[in-house]
Amino acid sequence: MTTLAIPLPKRPAHPTGVLAWLTTIDHKKIGILYGVTAFVLFITGGLEALYMRFQLAQPGQDFVSPEVFNQLFTMHATTMIFLGVMPLGAAFFNFVIPLQIGARDVAFPRLNAFSYWTFLAGAILLKLSWFLGGAPNAGWFGYAPITGSDFNPGHGIDYWAVSLQVLGIASLAAAFNFIVTIVNMRAPGMSLMRMPLFTWMTLVTSFLLVLAFPVITVALIELMFDRFFGMNFFSIGAGANPLLWQHLFWIFGHPEVYILILPAMGIVSEIIPTFSRKPLFGYPVVVLSGVIIGFMGWMVWSHHMFTVGLGPVANSVFALTTMAIAVPTGVKIFNWIGTMWNGSIDLRTPMLFAIGFVFLFIIGGLSGVMHSSAASDAQQQDTYFIVAHIHYVLFGGSIMAIAAGAYYWFPKMTGRLMDERMGKLNFWLVFMGMNISFFPMHFLGLDGMPRRIHSYDSAMGWDLWNLVSSAGAVVLAAGILVTIINMVRSAKQGEKAGADPWDGRTLEWSIPSPPPEYNFEQIPTVHGKDAFWMQKRQRVSTVPVAGASGDSHDIHLPQPSYWPLIASIGLLIGAYGLVYSATWTGIIVGAVGLATTVVSVYAWSFEPVNEPVEGAAGH
Amino acid sequence: MSKIDRYSSRLVTVGLAVLLVLLAVGCTPEHNQSTFDATGPVARSQLNLFYWILWTAVFVFVVVGGILIYAAIRFRRKPGDPDPEQTHGNTPLEIGWTVAPALILAVVAVPTVTTIFYNANSPDPGSLTIDVVGHQWWWEFNYPHPDGSDSVVTAANELHIPVDEVININLDSKDVLHSFWIPKIAGKVDLVPNHPNQMWILAEEPGEYYGQCAEFCGVAHANMRFRVIAQSRPEFDAWLSTQAQDAVEPIDPLALRGKALFEGDARCWSCHTVAGSKRARGQQGPDLTHVASRAHLAAGIVENTQANLRKWLEDPDAVKPGNLMARDAEVYNDPVRELTGADVSALVAYLRGLD
């Protein structure tokens, strides 16, 4: 055993309080950390949106300056995508996947902690830009060449590029972890085609992450080289074609859209069967269409570029591939309805949000078909019509499903149910608010209102729908406020949930709420899809795995560790230094951060999973 | 069933009705940039395609959304209900609802491809070709010289075209991305530096059309607008030949002083061209040879009146926040060189004479 020369605090064996959260490698705690952090960041993204809606409520307002407006829409989208929806998805991956597949943790628990802390580091770095000279201002898509030093001399874009790289590390680490977990750690008997749909969609999403993030990493490295070292990847004066950035960005960016929506589809595919008391209709077809969507997501990126001049042949091909993706999407929707058909539907809050998801996603999907048609898109591209569409698929889609998942798994996480009356109020406020806010944007777009304009002239006739949209945003904000109140109150004084409050179908409902640290006292044996339902209704015995004893004292879980946290802190410091790498201070800070991470990873590699326990040598 | 539940199903029905009413009132063709008032073949082909897809989509929405809501209401659980039959799927159904959307999409795909090619290929490549160059945050329009020489006639922010003729447009940018969009005449095509694009347009009715930059291009993106003035062929020819002439020499002493400032201490010449002037040859800002003949200032932001021109020269940032003249011109940044009220009056007199 290698020991380090530096004196270190003793490894926390059974930490309590804050230290327990800082050093935890328990997937459930990490899931909760992801969820709470991402929800707070989601709210900051919502506030950024509210500022914009106040500015646009009436024509010609000066509530925010154009400079700040550009920062707001850039940060709103970057926040919602990378700091909101993705990590909220990750919160469910973390909490739910090991429970659904009958495992005691993920494959690499410390890497999992590292993913979370690195995500937090990236989030802090990005949000810091507001206070350190100005947030990024070139849109979440960061189209060259406006991100170049000539047009954008401040540090906003540097913060954006560097923090996205940090977030990329977090996402990649998490994605590898979940692929290995899902492939290797399923309970005996759980073949791939017996996996719950949410686990399936997590697997597909993880593959998309692993394949998509390297592309944006390369694009961002090129941008950083341009900005930090004066290279010419996107320099117009040196003859660069800025479409290079667009291709790289959207080859990442379109799979990213499915990274945002597939987990949502997975969540809904869990909730609809549970609250209809029926198995998912057409399970293999729903799985396959999820896989096909993930695969075809790579063939459609140029539909974001219909107006950049790729020529009629390319536009036609990408129009057709984009339309084709509507087929597996439609098939999913039909199978969800098929699941509800002849079911015994209980319209509890999770189910309401799930049905809301399907309903709004139909609208978003159909408006998507309208601009998959490249010629029709020529009038819609870069207008509020697209803003309406993306909010129907990302809010109406992803966020509604995440809310459904939050209400659904909250009792498993906390042991208490969220309040049902407030839940209904929550749903209707959010549902109405989102429609009032986003539906009129269709009209604004077709009425010629471009996106990303900080103000407009009253002569354009856009006053009414902008005002309605802003009013809707306030209703929506009220809905989110109810979510917060309901969560905080229910966590303390909600009705006790018990192990299985919804008459669930999958393994996470077979263990107590909240689950013990080791999840399953005995690793279950799976005999079919909906393993827990089978066990409950058909009394299939769950034969414990050979060697597993029923005594929880014999379960050895990996111990907490400081190293993932310290490695991530090193990344935060290093990335901060990188932003200022044109100065000596920046270089020194960057080097200190990098060294911290390298040392931490080194120490981490030599840290045993468990410190040898006295009297248990050789275990 | 709680009260809230009953309300909720009613709310959905009401919501659907509201949506349909909204669909009917949402189209406002009288608005300046409405895509519902297509006044040229390109915009019309795009609008027809849109309507085709829209009605298909409304049909799908009503059917699928209707079935979803019906299922949610019809199959509600009543207390004491037994478990429903645990059906796992139905192969003919799966095949059916895979093929059905594919067929519906084919209905949309065919006109899509034909319209893409129709919009991409100019029906008359030999007709009038105008070069459009995007700048932060204004438009440069270059016309072939009416005398047939290789030189060009340069205008800014107001695109004059002859009505009912195919116009070919070349699109280029000198700085960042922009997008050229005249909603009533044609959908947008981007201006990408180092990646020249082409499009064609045709305006069927004489009149003024609104255009606006549609690709985010920086601080003043919202204020990068333009107008298209479609006029009869003789009117257009007359306009072009006027624009092709050198600037009018001022006679009025105030205007003469303005010219001296323009070509001297105020350093307007370093960014602006006035044809006929030996000094004013700058390329960064709009060509001002015939600035007084334009109806608007600052890329379609304000009307070109004496008062607005004065406001613009006194404090351009107040008229169009972020514009490069306010950012870069010495007269707005160096207190020593600041324009006096008299200077502004002289410049206004000079510029108002450039018609």
Chain B contact for A447, CB < 8 A?
yes
Cα separation, A269 vs A88, in Å, equals 17
- Residue A426 Cα distances to A417, A419, B76, angstroms: 15, 10, 21
Given this chain, do its domains B3-77+89-120 and B129-243 carry the same CATH topology?
no
Domain spans of chain B? 3-77+89-120, 129-243, 253-352
Single-letter amino acid code for the residue at B118: Y
pLDDT of residue B153: 95
Average pLDDT value for residue range B330-352: 95
CB-based contacts of A40: which residues, under 8 Å, 6+ apart?
none
- Whether residues A535 and A596 share a domain: the answer is no
CB contact under 8 A, B181 and A450: yes
The answer as to whether A87 is a domain residue is yes
Cα separation, B157 vs B134, in Å, equals 10
The pLDDT > 90 percentage for chain B reads 88
- Whether residues A418 and A491 share a domain: the answer is yes
Chain B contact for A338, CB < 8 A?
yes
User: Residue A545 — pLDDT band, cuts 50, 70, 90?
Assistant: very low
Task: Give the residue carrying structure tokens 């856009």.
Answer: A462
- The two tokens of residue A70 are 């550009």
- Whether residues A380 and A259 share a domain: the answer is yes
The answer as to whether A199 is a domain residue is yes
Cα separation, A156 vs A136, in Å, equals 4
CB contact under 8 A, A334 and B97: yes
Q: Which of B13, B94, B217 to mutate to test the interface with A (most CBs of A within 10 A)?
A: B94
DSSP H or E segment with residue A551: none
- Whether residues A539 and A566 share a domain: the answer is no
- Residue A446 Cα distances to A4, A376, A465, B26, angstroms: 65, 11, 12, 9
- The percent of chain B in helix, strand and coil, each rounded to the nearest 5, is 45, 20, 35
Summarize pLDDT for A269-305 with one digit per residue, the tens: 999 999 999 999 999 999 999 999 999 999 999 999 9
Summarize pLDDT for A226-279 with one digit per residue, the tens: 999 999 999 999 999 999 999 999 999 999 999 999 999 999 999 999 999 999
The answer as to whether A265 is a domain residue is yes
CB contact under 8 A, B84 and A343: yes
**Top-confidence residue, B201 or A2:** B201
| The pLDDT of residue B100 is above 90 | yes
Summarize pLDDT for A446-465 with one digit per residue, the tens: 999 999 999 999 999 999 99
pLDDT of residue A17: 83
The answer as to whether A404 is a domain residue is yes
The answer as to whether A3 is a domain residue is yes
| The pLDDT of residue B193 is above 60 | yes
The alpha-carbon radius of gyration of chain B (Å, integer) is 28
The answer as to whether A439 is a domain residue is yes
Contact A192, A279 (CB under 8 A): no
CB contact under 8 A, A460 and B84: no
Residues of B in contact with A333 (CB under 8 A): 64
| The pLDDT of residue B293 is above 50 | yes
Task: Give the residue carrying structure tokens 């539940």.
Answer: B5
- Name the residue in chain A with its Cα closest to that of B82: A344
Chain B contact for A453, CB < 8 A?
yes
Average pLDDT value for residue range B186-190: 97
For residue A516, the enclosing domain spans: 26-546
- Name the residue in chain A with its Cα closest to that of B53: A370
CB contact under 8 A, A376 and B50: yes
Task: Report the residue from A323, A374, A460 with minimal CB separation from B32.
Answer: A460
- Whether residues A20 and A60 share a domain: the answer is no
**CA atoms lying within 13 Å on the CB side of residue A65:** 11
CATH architecture of B253-352: Sandwich (2.60)
**Top-confidence residue, B1 or A397:** A397
Residues of A in contact with B28 (CB under 8 A): 443, 447, 461
- Name the residue in chain B with its Cα closest to that of A275: B77
pLDDT of residue B17: 75
- Please calculate the CA angle A439-A440-A446 and round it to the nearest 5 degrees: 110
- Name the residue in chain B with its Cα closest to that of A136: B218
Closest CA to A386 of A306, A453, A451: A451
User: Residue A547 — pLDDT band, cuts 50, 70, 90?
Assistant: very low
Q: In the predicted model, what is the mean pLDDT of chain B?
A: 93
Q: Where are the alpha helices (DSSP H) in B208-340?
A: 233-243, 253-262, 306-314, 316-319, 324-328
Count CB neighbours of B147 within 10 A.
Answer: 9
Distance from CA of B324 to the nearest CA of A (A): 11
| The pLDDT of residue B344 is above 60 | yes
pLDDT of residue A609: 75
Task: Assign residue A470 the CATH number of its domain.
Answer: 1.20.210.10
Summarize pLDDT for B200-231 with one digit per residue, the tens: 999 999 999 999 999 999 999 999 999 999 99
- Whether residues A275 and A129 share a domain: the answer is yes
User: Residue B341 — pLDDT band, cuts 50, 70, 90?
Assistant: very high
- The two tokens of residue A92 are 């469910």
Q: In the predicted model, what is the mean pLDDT of chain A?
A: 93
pLDDT of residue B10: 72
Chain B contact for A355, CB < 8 A?
yes
Q: Using the 3D structure, point to which of A546, A572, A597 is the last residue of a domain.
A: A546
Cα separation, A544 vs B297, in Å, equals 81
- Whether residues A208 and A122 share a domain: the answer is yes
- Whether residues A140 and A243 share a domain: the answer is yes
| The pLDDT of residue A550 is above 70 | no
CB-based contacts of A78: which residues, under 8 Å, 6+ apart?
A126, A136, A140, A160, A164
Closest CA to A410 of A28, A24, A20, A22: A28
CB contact under 8 A, B53 and A362: no
Instruction: Dump the DSSP string for B33-63.
Output: T-TTS--SHHHHHHHHHHHHHHHHHHHHHHH
CATH number for the domain running over B3-77+89-120: 1.10.287.90
Summarize pLDDT for A315-372 with one digit per residue, the tens: 999 999 999 999 999 999 999 999 999 999 999 999 999 999 999 999 999 999 999 9
DSSP H or E segment with residue A229: helix A197-229
3-state secondary structure B96-120: HHHHHHHHHHHHHHHHHHHHHHHHH
Chain B contact for A370, CB < 8 A?
yes
How many domains are contained in chain A?
2
Cα separation, B85 vs A501, in Å, equals 21
Q: Which of A320, A322, A373, A384 to mutate to test the interface with B (most CBs of B within 10 A)?
A: A373
CB contact under 8 A, A370 and B53: yes
The pLDDT > 70 percentage for chain A reads 94
CB contact under 8 A, A377 and B33: no
- Whether residues A115 and A19 share a domain: the answer is no
pLDDT of residue A615: 47
Cα separation, A158 vs A164, in Å, equals 10
pLDDT of residue A540: 62
Summarize pLDDT for B47-64 with one digit per residue, the tens: 999 999 999 999 999 999
CB contact under 8 A, A376 and B53: yes
Strand partners, A274: none
pLDDT of residue A541: 59
Summarize pLDDT for A66-103 with one digit per residue, the tens: 999 999 999 999 999 999 999 999 999 999 999 999 99
Distance from CA of A499 to the nearest CA of B (A): 20
Average pLDDT value for residue range A26-49: 97
- Whether residues A578 and A441 share a domain: the answer is no
- Whether residues A270 and A336 share a domain: the answer is yes
CB contact under 8 A, A440 and B98: no
- Name the residue in chain A with its Cα closest to that of B70: A341
* Phi, psi for B230 (deg, rounded to 5): -95, 125
Residue B154, SS3 per DSSP: strand
User: Residue B6 — pLDDT band, cuts 50, 70, 90?
Assistant: low
| The pLDDT of residue A198 is above 70 | yes
- Whether residues A168 and A255 share a domain: the answer is yes
Instruction: Dump the DSSP string for A292-346.
Output: HHHHHTTS-GGGGGTTS---HHHHHHHHHHHHHTHHHHHHHHHHHHHHHTTS-B-
**CA atoms lying within 13 Å on the CB side of residue A550:** 3
Q: CATH classification of B129-243, choosing from 3.40.1010.20, 2.60.40.420, 3.30.10.20, 3.40.190.170?
A: 2.60.40.420
Summarize pLDDT for B103-161 with one digit per residue, the tens: 999 999 999 999 999 999 999 999 999 999 999 999 999 999 999 888 999 999 999 99
Distance from CA of A489 to the nearest CA of B (A): 21
Task: Report the residue from B50, B82, B136 with minimal CB separation from A370.
Answer: B50
Residues of A in contact with B221 (CB under 8 A): 66, 70, 450, 452-454
The answer as to whether A264 is a domain residue is yes
Q: Quick one: how far is CA B30 from the chain centroid?
A: 16
pLDDT of residue A483: 97
3-state secondary structure A133-190: CCCCCCCCCCCCCCCCCCCCCCCHHHHHHHHHHHHHHHHHHHHHHHHHHHHHCCCCCC
- Name the residue in chain B with its Cα closest to that of A426: B4
pLDDT of residue B282: 93
Cα separation, A113 vs A562, in Å, equals 10
Task: Give the residue carrying structure tokens 């341009």.
Answer: A226
Cα separation, B148 vs B157, in Å, equals 24
pLDDT of residue B91: 94
CB contact under 8 A, A381 and B214: yes
Summarize pLDDT for A568-609 with one digit per residue, the tens: 999 999 999 999 998 999 999 999 999 999 999 999 998 887
Q: Which of A447, A469, A503, A530 to mutate to test the interface with B (most CBs of B within 10 A)?
A: A447
Residues of A in contact with B34 (CB under 8 A): 446-448, 461
- Interface pTM (ipTM) of the complex? 0.93
Parallel, antiparallel, or unpaired for β B225-231 and B158-162?
Answer: parallel
- The percent of chain A in helix, strand and coil, each rounded to the nearest 5, is 70, 0, 30
- Name the residue in chain A with its Cα closest to that of B171: A309
| The pLDDT of residue A15 is above 80 | no
Find the range with the poorest average confidence among A5-14, A510-519, B137-146: A5-14
Summarize pLDDT for A560-573 with one digit per residue, the tens: 999 999 999 999 99
Cα separation, B172 vs B181, in Å, equals 14
Task: Report the residue from B76, B222, B322 with minimal CB separation from A345.
Answer: B76
Separation of first and last alpha carbons in chain A: 16
Distance from CA of B342 to the nearest CA of A (A): 30
pLDDT of residue A548: 47
